Amino acid sequence: MRSGTIPNVRKFWRKTHRGDALSAQVQRLLVRTLYTQPTSLAIGAINGIVSSAVAAWLTNSPLLWVGCVALSLVAVARVTAAFGLSPDDSGRSTRQLELVYETGAFSYAFLLGALAGITILIEASAPVQVLMVANAMGYGIGICARNAGRPTIALGQLFLTSLPVMSAAFIEGSVAMLLFGANMVLLVPAMASITINVFTVLRQSFAQAEKSAKLAEEMQILARTDVVTGLANRAGLNHQLEELVAGMEPDQMFAMFWLDLDHFKEVNDILGHTTGDDLLRQVSERLTAYAPDGSIISRFGGDEFVVVAEVKHRADCEMLAGVLQQELSRSYALAEDRVQVGSSMGIALMPEDSKDLHGLMQAADLALYHAKINGRNQANFFTPSMTRELVRRKEIEAELRAAIQKDELSIFFQPIVDLETGRIRTFEALVRWFHPEKGELRPDEFIPVAEETGVIITLGNWITAQAAKACAQWPEDVTIAVNLSPAQIKAPGAALGILSALREARLDPSRLELEVTESLFLDDSETTTNFIEELASQGVRFALDDFGTGYSSLGYINKFPFKKIKVDRSFVSGDHAGGKSEAIIHAVAEMGARLGMDIVAEGIETIEQVRSVRELGCTLGQGYYFSRAVPDYLAAMLLAQERESEHGLRQVG
């Protein structure tokens, strides 16, 4: 027994007396085990009081009476303390709680042992001795098990009950009592070993539970954090927002800024994901630096960030939006490059726009959506009308997908006329949607939706195929112009799709003209260059559409093989026509003449405009003056008439 017990006890002693051996939390839990079931303590106390009183009464020993009174006082004090002291009472230290218990327990144990010892020493009757000794030893052993959570106390109590009994047994000196005493000597280390084993198991399970709780907490924090930026992720945002709303005062106002980086996808595609992550981190640093203290900042996913801050007025909100957008628009140092990225922002206020979180997020998301379709790089506040517009867009998206199959779409053709001869040189293919309920829809209403949703790819392929088929029926000197959206060009296999449409229609590539706008060149992407070069090498021509409305950097006119520049109709017949516009048309026409390009004036509605643009140097014209866009059979008729009469479409001279 020695060999097993002593090292065990030593080990335990070292552990319990080394400050860092037990975490404060576990220690508290173990001390708390002392205070569980105060009722059992009360039952034990009553038993001790009644037994000792009976023993004193039966023996009529004054010593036992004194002991009985002392025991009763201690017992009552202990029970009162146990019921009165809450172990959860954070006002008391663990040590204090332990000390209160210790004092009571040790005194009670010693008194119980002493009373039993006295019954042996005064040679009380056998039943009285049995009553008191059994009581003391039962208590000593039982308490060891009960208090194994604090072994010092448990063993101290056992020792203090057994010591007087043991001593009395040895003093009495009869063979039976000597044997009893010897048994007790062995009992103490045996119980010590058991207690320590129980304690070890208890401590391990508490420590394990504490570790699991800590781990669970860590996992939860991890689950709410975005790994790339360290900001809250979507789950983290939800959690923090719920807390925010729960603690919101009636006069408080919060603003939600929902941000989306413009053209982040391109950064990712061109510079790689590591650089993309780096950009996201830098964005998160700037948001953290410039959002007011106490704001919620999260990466909602992809390139979307959500900032929620308390504001006093709407003006605060505008200012903050401006600051955030300005900071985000400063260039970023990325992979030895400096990159500039704009951001679109949707803003919604709580409680003004919505009193609940779901509504607030929906409002901010809608406002962001509007900022994006309004041309990006801007901040939009939520307005109630946004909801209706969105519904209409969603409707259009769903119906557009079905429209191609249902034959609701058709291509109309608008002639582009030689301003010298009046003859048709090209037809521009313009899509029309005849909706069974909504009537004729203008491309301006559904092309942007098609572009945003990706439907433009299917739609664009269909348009090119139809246009090529129509053109194949026309005289060889008439070409077809097809509008291309940037999204179509950036789709994989875009050039192949166009070449196969030409092959299927048996149309020579040189009879196809693709109209692209300046927005295509905003991001100097390799895909665009490859697309244009591949098709140009096959003979397909390119025209620069809506010239003057976009970003008008002349660099790309030089870089790409444009055969035509189409001056936007706002310079010809729009509000800005005249004076300055004429100067611009003249300059463009002069440049065109030098570079061997045709210059088309769009939107010609009157004979005066025809004369004016021709004088300014435009070679081609398009507009209602000549013809609106017409169905294919009418286009064919216009061509036939023209060839028969050998006259141009309308008078141009």
Taking CB under 5 A as the rule, does residue 515 contact Ca ion? yes
User: Could you tell me if 115 and 64 are in contact, meaning their C-beta atoms sit under 8 angstroms apart?
Assistant: yes
First to last CA, the chain: 125
Q: Amino acid identity of 583? A: A
Could you give the 3-state DSSP secondary structure of residue 208? helix
Residue selected from 447, 585, 589, 638 as contacting ligand C2E according to rule CB under 6 A = 447
Query: Is the bond into 415 cis (omega within 30 degrees of 0)?
Result: no
DSSP state, 232?
Answer: B
DSSP-derived letter for residue 442 is P
Q: Are 564 and 544 in contact (CB under 8 A)?
A: yes
603: partner contacted, choices ligand C2E, Ca ion, none (Cβ within 5-8 A by kind): ligand C2E
Residue 442 binding ligand C2E, by CB under 6 A = yes
- The site partner of 431 among ligand C2E, Ca ion, none (C-beta below 5 to 8 Å per kind) is ligand C2E
Measured from the CB atom, is 191 or 441 closer to ligand C2E? 441
CA distance 531 to 110: 97
Residues 171-210 that bind ligand C2E (CB under 6 A): none
Q: Is 382 in a helix, a strand, or coil?
A: coil
Neighbouring C-beta atoms of residue 516, cutoff 10 Å: 24
Is residue 548 near ligand C2E by the rule CB under 6 A? no
CA distance 108 to 45: 9
Q: Does 353 bind ligand C2E (CB under 6 A)?
A: no
Distance CA 538, CA 412 (A): 26
d(CA 139, CA 110): 11
Mark residues 564-603: x for contact with Ca ion by CB under 5 A, - for none.
--------------------------------------x-
Sign of CA dihedral 434, 437, 443, 447: negative
Least CB distance from residue 417 to ligand C2E, whole Å?
11
Question: How many residues of this chain interact with Ca ion, rule: CB under 5 A?
Answer: 5
Full DSSP string of 404-471 = TTTT-EEEEEEEEEETTT--EEEEEEEEEEEETTTEEEPHHHHHHHHHHHSHHHHHHHHHHHHHHHHH
Q: Residues 105, 77: contact at Cβ < 8 Å?
A: no
User: Under the criterion CB under 6 A, does residue 621 sit at the interface with ligand C2E?
Assistant: no
214 binds ligand C2E (CB under 6 A): no
Joined together, the tokens standing for residue 528 give 């665009």
98 binds, among Ca ion, ligand C2E, none (CB under 5 to 8 A by kind): none
287 binds ligand C2E (CB under 6 A): no
State in angstroms the smallest separation of the CB of 288 from ligand C2E: 41
Structure tokens at 487: 């999204």
Considering Cα of 87, then 89, then 90, then 93, what sign does the dihedral take?
Answer: negative
Cβ proximity to ligand C2E: between 431 and 520 the closer is 431
The two three-digit tokens of residue 209, written as one number: 């539970």
Site string for ligand C2E, 592-611 (x = CB under 6 A): -----------xxx------
Q: Is 513 a residue that touches Ca ion (CB under 5 A)?
A: no
Residue of 59, 282, 298, 414 that binds ligand C2E (CB under 6 A):
414
Tell me how far, at minimum, the Cβ of 597 lies from ligand C2E, in Å. 18
Considering the complex, what minimum distance in angstroms separates the CB of residue 498 from ligand C2E? 13
Question: Exactly one of 131, 165, 168, 430 binds ligand C2E (CB under 6 A); which one?
Answer: 430
State which of positions 524-563 bind Ca ion (CB under 5 A).
Answer: 545-546
Strand partners, 406: none
The one segment of 219-227, 228-236, 297-305, 621-629 that binds ligand C2E by CB under 6 A: 621-629
Instruction: Give the residue with the Cβ less far from ligand C2E, 26 or 494.
Output: 494
Contact residues for ligand C2E, defined by CB under 6 A: 414, 429-431, 442-444, 447, 460, 463, 483-485, 515, 545-546, 569, 573, 603-605, 622-624, 629
Using CB under 5 A as the criterion, which residues of the chain lie in contact with Ca ion when the complex forms?
483, 515, 545-546, 602
